[in-house]
Amino acid sequence: MSQQQSQSSGAALPPPVLEMQDVTKTYMVKRGIFSPKQPLRAVNGVTLTVRKGEVLGLVGESGCGKSTLAKMLLGLETPTAGEILIDGIPAHLGDRIAISRRIQPIFQDPYSSLNPRKTIGSIISLPLRVHKVGDPSSWRKSVEEILDIVGLPRRVYESYPNQLSGGQRQRVAIARALIMRPEVVICDEPTSALDVSVQSQILNLLMDLREELGLTYVLISHNLAVVEHIATKVAVMYLGRIVEETGTENLFERSRHPYTRALLDSVLTPEPGLGVPDSNLGIAFPNPISPPSGCTFHPRCVKAMAQCSQIVPRPLTDELGHVECHLYDPETRDNTAAA
Amino acid sequence: MSAVLEITGLKVDIPVSAGDLHAVRGIDLSVGKGETLCIVGESGCGKSLTSLSIMGLLPSRARVSADMMNFTGRPLLSMSETELSDIRGDRMAMIFQEPMTSLNPSYSIGNQLMEPLIRHRNASKDEARKRAIYLLEKVGITAAESRLNQFPHQLSGGLRQRVMIAMALMCDPELIIADEPTTALDVTIQAQILHLLAELRREFNSALILITHDLGVVARVADKVAVMYAGRIVETGRVEEVFNNPLHPYTQGLINCIPIPGKTARGSRLGSIPGIVPTLIGETQGCSFRNRCAYAGPACEIDDPVVELAPGRSYRCVLPEDQLKRQGDETIGKTGSLEAASA
């Protein structure tokens, strides 16, 4: 919180659009035919606030729970515990349809997220039909307007997805997300299925739309260069927990959690001659059904201390943001002897 | 450095209903012992077809022709299927992009790993087993012996990709072709796999052809780079030359498209390449990039000559080097780099 205050330098903070309070999602999974079901905590006590106009980047390795988090924000999954507030109203109390008008998704793969048997016009106007907005005669006009906004020619109205390129399809997905004029767009890997030259067009479009329409984004990506480029703040997830959260500049220039450091060290920037970095992470992403004791990152951590395998680190929030690591906790940092 | 693979004038034509699709239109490549060549380009540029044609894995209806396509001095194109099968998996091996679809789900890891050695070297099961365990440990898999009895679905994506790499190394090949080996993986695993590939290449002194669309991977791994566009190599050279002094407008465009941490100002507009790749069906004349190129003129409709600056350093464009260099300096400054913003 203090982080955001320091960024806005005293000015009134924009109101929070999305708030997650200690949200947990537990799945019951079976490991074998005869073994009993075991709980898997995909998201484990996440507290997050996204304010109007912000771009929250959510990063982490596959299996860390970032997509589950996105599904809960979209109302596709209900949290096992904790609460999600949308514009200050608990999501489970609000009207499901009304919430879906305000929060819209853009998915990763524009090849599988568009129905191949529907025309582009029909795909984009579906939200209008579901929410019964205006009368059918006005739908075509709304679709054409949104096509203009996302930079597609109006003639694609009658086309089918297979007649469009990957970049055009992703523009269709964006148009479908925007036609209800949502406040929040959840982008789950919006560019990772696209070619480099198309990726930059889509990123430019997302940035322009945010400015023009005052959108708030939750951007899930494993491409840290993309996150650094468009996010205003970043949350790093590891095994269902947010281990570090801070403003983009802080995260990329003064990261604190050893996991964030390792992630940043793994990024291959296009600079020849530097070679491939060694993140020292080891290969074993732990089994989320039986996570390691103490700090769940300790088996892979280069800075692990004796207490890390025993004591779960407390969430710490200071002027540099939020971090969960014994290295930054004055109470547990030096008690190696106690452990 | 003796060339392990030498190709000139490679063409791949695929008959489709509308005519012939000229997917690869005359490319020259060479890679020497212990050398890494990266082929970079976007989807549909022909980079995967190039690798499959080297391996002889294209379906028979695709027509492959070349002026020369020599693997350790032997012409690949005139070999029979039996001769090719003897080389494939033995002298040259391929690592595919999707380890889940390229490993056989119904055979154990051990079985699949041991097969090449038994097939090509008449090794006993025991020898093959020892080699498999040795290589699994080399690629950083713990408890290698117990992994041999596991099946692909029991392994994570990163582990499967490591198994693929170990499998490619079983017979100590002279040439490894890796087609997008890390695209489906997390950044952390990607760095480890590439680290491993570089280390193994040094140790075994194999030649490596790495096919990717990720410029970050290219910059960090390659010795030589070939930039492909619409079935042609538009620019080639040593990695520092191509990245520090990109000449072809397409290469310049690609480099402009990606946000570079520390260089590209956060939130600034990224460069982009307008337009789409032209169809490669039927006869094409002139430069295939001209409809997307900011500097295209009438001359581009006639020809796109290869300009060779030095052995192994060339580009395909009608414009002279100094003009391209100047244009590159201008466009790459235009994306709003930190220097430009502070100046």
pLDDT tens-digit profile of A136-176? 889 999 999 999 989 899 999 999 999 888 889 999 999 99
When the pLDDT of each residue in chain B is averaged and rounded to a whole number, the result is: 89
Nearest CA in chain A to B242: A272
Backbone angles phi, psi at A229, to 5 degrees: -70, -40
B55-70, pLDDT tens digit by residue?
999 988 999 999 999 9
Residue type at position A232: T
**Could you tell me the two tokens for B238?**
């040593």
Nearest to A195 among B43, B192, B270 (CB): B43
Nearest to A276 among B191, B240, B257 (CB): B191
Backbone angles phi, psi at A304, to 5 degrees: -60, 140
What contacts B231, CB < 8 A, 6 or more positions away? B12, B22, B23, B24, B25, B27, B45, B46, B280, B288
**Could you tell me the two tokens for B340?**
């430009």
For residue A175, give the H/E element and its range: helix A166-178
Residue B44 · residue B277 · CB < 8 Å: yes
pLDDT at residue B182, rounded to an integer: 83
- pLDDT-derived band at B54, boundaries 50, 70, 90: very high
d(CA A208, CA B272): 14
Nearest chain A Cα distance for residue B77, angstroms: 32
Nearest to B257 among A166, A199, A269 (CB): A199
Q: Do B42 and A195 touch (CB under 8 A)?
A: yes
d(CA B191, CA A56): 25
The closest of B112, B268, B42, B193 to A283, measured between CA atoms, is B193
Nearest to B186 among A61, A269, A272 (CB): A61
Please check whether residue B15 lies inside any domain of the structure. Answer: no
A102-121, pLDDT tens digit by residue?
999 998 888 888 999 999 99
Q: Do B219 and A269 touch (CB under 8 A)?
A: yes
Nearest to B194 among A195, A230, A276 (CB): A276
Q: Which residues of B touch A230 (CB under 8 A)?
A: 266-267
Q: Which residues of A touch B219 (CB under 8 A)?
A: 268-272, 274
Q: Do B258 and A200 touch (CB under 8 A)?
A: yes
pLDDT at residue B133, rounded to an integer: 94
Nearest to B220 among A61, A268, A284 (CB): A268
Residue B178 · residue B93 · CB < 8 Å: no
**Which of A218-232, A270-284, B22-36, B275-289 shows the lowest per-residue confidence on average (mean pLDDT)?**
A270-284
Torsion sign (Cα): B289, B291, B293, B295: positive
- Interstrand relation of A89-90 and A81-86 (parallel, antiparallel or unpaired): antiparallel
Q: What b/e readout covers A61-87, taking b as 16+ CB neighbours within 10 angstroms?
A: bebbbbbbbbbbbbbebebbebebbbb
Out of B85-99, B230-244, B259-273, give the one with best mean pLDDT: B230-244
- pLDDT-derived band at B334, boundaries 50, 70, 90: low
Q: How much of chain B exceeds pLDDT 70, in percent?
A: 97
Q: Do B254 and A274 touch (CB under 8 A)?
A: no
Q: Do A278 and B191 touch (CB under 8 A)?
A: yes
Q: Where are the domains of chain A?
A: 2-328
- pLDDT-derived band at A335, boundaries 50, 70, 90: low
A277-291, pLDDT tens digit by residue?
877 776 667 778 888
Residue A59 · residue A222 · CB < 8 Å: yes
pLDDT score of A337 more than 80: no
**Could you tell me the two tokens for A137?**
């005669």
Q: Are residues B254 and B166 in the same domain?
A: no
pLDDT at residue A279, rounded to an integer: 72
Q: Do A270 and B216 touch (CB under 8 A)?
A: yes
B84-121, pLDDT tens digit by residue?
999 998 999 999 887 778 899 999 999 999 999 999 99
- pLDDT-derived band at B342, boundaries 50, 70, 90: very low
Give A164's Cβ-side CA count (13 Å radius).
28
The closest of A142, A137, A203, A130 to A170, measured between CA atoms, is A203
Q: Which residues of B touch A165 (CB under 8 A)?
A: 276
Nearest to B187 among A197, A203, A222 (CB): A222
ipTM: 0.83
Please report how the helices B249-257 and A196-213 are oriented relative to each other, as an axis angle in degrees rounded to 10. 50
Q: Do A267 and B189 touch (CB under 8 A)?
A: no
Q: What is the pLDDT averaged over residues B38-42? A: 92
Out of A63-67, A184-188, B160-164, give the one with best mean pLDDT: A184-188
- pLDDT-derived band at A7, boundaries 50, 70, 90: very low
Please check whether residue B97 lies inside any domain of the structure. Answer: no
pLDDT at residue A11, rounded to an integer: 60
Please check whether residue B329 lies inside any domain of the structure. Answer: yes
Q: Which residues of B touch A249 (CB under 8 A)?
A: 266
- pLDDT-derived band at B36, boundaries 50, 70, 90: very high
Strand order in the sheet with A16-29: A38-51, A16-29, A81-86, A89-90
Range of the domain at B117: 105-170
Q: Do B186 and A272 touch (CB under 8 A)?
A: no
In a mutational test of the A interface, the residue from B220, B221, B229, B263 whose CB has the highest number of chain A CBs within 10 Å is B220
Q: Which residues of B touch A269 (CB under 8 A)?
A: 216, 219, 260-262
Q: Do B259 and A228 touch (CB under 8 A)?
A: yes
Residue B131 · residue B69 · CB < 8 Å: no
In a mutational test of the B interface, the residue from A109, A169, A200 whose CB has the highest number of chain B CBs within 10 Å is A200
Backbone angles phi, psi at B116, to 5 degrees: -60, -40
pLDDT at residue A8, rounded to an integer: 44
Please check whether residue B166 lies inside any domain of the structure. Answer: yes
Nearest to A270 among B253, B260, B266 (CB): B260
What contacts A145, CB < 8 A, 6 or more positions away? none
pLDDT at residue A158, rounded to an integer: 93
**Could you tell me the two tokens for B322?**
């100094």
pLDDT score of B236 more than 50: yes
When the pLDDT of each residue in chain A is averaged and rounded to a whole number, the result is: 87
How many beta-carbon pairs below 8 A join chains A and B? 141
Nearest chain B Cα distance for residue A294, angstroms: 23
Nearest chain B Cα distance for residue A208, angstroms: 9
Backbone angles phi, psi at A9, to 5 degrees: 45, 60
Please check whether residue B330 lies inside any domain of the structure. Answer: yes
| Structural domain count, chain B | 2
pLDDT at residue B192, rounded to an integer: 83
Domain boundary among the residues B135, B154, B170 is at B170
Q: Which residues of B touch A260 (CB under 8 A)?
A: none
d(CA A328, CA A294): 15
Please check whether residue B287 lies inside any domain of the structure. Answer: yes
Please check whether residue B336 lies inside any domain of the structure. Answer: yes
Q: What is the pLDDT averaged over residues A201-210? A: 92
Q: Are residues B166 and B250 in the same domain?
A: no
In a mutational test of the A interface, the residue from B200, B257, B269 whose CB has the highest number of chain A CBs within 10 Å is B257
Q: Do A269 and B240 touch (CB under 8 A)?
A: no
Strand locations in chain A, DSSP E?
16-29, 38-51, 55-59, 81-86, 89-90, 103-106, 184-188, 216-220, 233-238, 241-247, 316-318, 321-323
A255-313, pLDDT tens digit by residue?
999 999 999 988 888 888 888 887 777 666 777 888 899 999 998 898 989 989 999 99
Nearest to B243 among A270, A275, A284 (CB): A270
For every residue of A52-107, which 3-state class applies, written as one string?
A: CCCEEEEECCCCCCHHHHHHHHCCCCCCCEEEEEECCEECCCCCHHHHHHHEEEEC
- Interstrand relation of A321-323 and A241-247 (parallel, antiparallel or unpaired): antiparallel
Out of B98-102, B168-172, B229-233, give the one with best mean pLDDT: B229-233
For every residue of chain B, which 3-state class applies, written as one string?
A: CCEEEEEEEEEEEEEECCEEEEEEEEEEEEEECCCEEEEECCCCCCHHHHHHHHHCCCCCCCEEECCEEEECCEECCCCCHHHHHHHECCCEEEECCCHHHHCCCCCCHHHHHHHHHHHHHCCCHHHHHHHHHHHHHHCCCCCHHHHCCCCHHHCCHHHHHHHHHHHHHCCCCCEEEEECCCCCCCHHHHHHHHHHHHHHHHHHCCEEEEEECCHHHHHHHCCEEEEEECCEEEEEEEHHHHHHCCCCHHHHHHHHHCCCCCCECCCCCCCCCCCCCCCCECCCCCCCCHHHCCCCCHHHHCCCCEEEEECCEEEECCCCHHHHHHHHHHHHHHCCEHHHHHC
d(CA B250, CA B317): 10
Q: Which CATH class is domain A2-328?
A: alpha beta
Q: How much of chain A exceeds pLDDT 90, in percent?
A: 53
Cα B26 to chain center, whole Å? 16
Nearest CA in chain B to A226: B259
pLDDT at residue B282, rounded to an integer: 86
**Which of A95-99, A202-206, B175-179, B315-319 shows the lowest per-residue confidence on average (mean pLDDT)?**
A95-99
pLDDT at residue B12, rounded to an integer: 95
Nearest CA in chain B to A281: B188
d(CA B237, CA B241): 6
Q: Do A272 and B157 touch (CB under 8 A)?
A: no
- Interstrand relation of B306-310 and B313-316 (parallel, antiparallel or unpaired): antiparallel
Please check whether residue B256 lies inside any domain of the structure. Answer: yes
Residue B210 · residue B220 · CB < 8 Å: no
A15-51, pLDDT tens digit by residue?
999 999 999 999 998 777 777 888 889 999 999 999 9
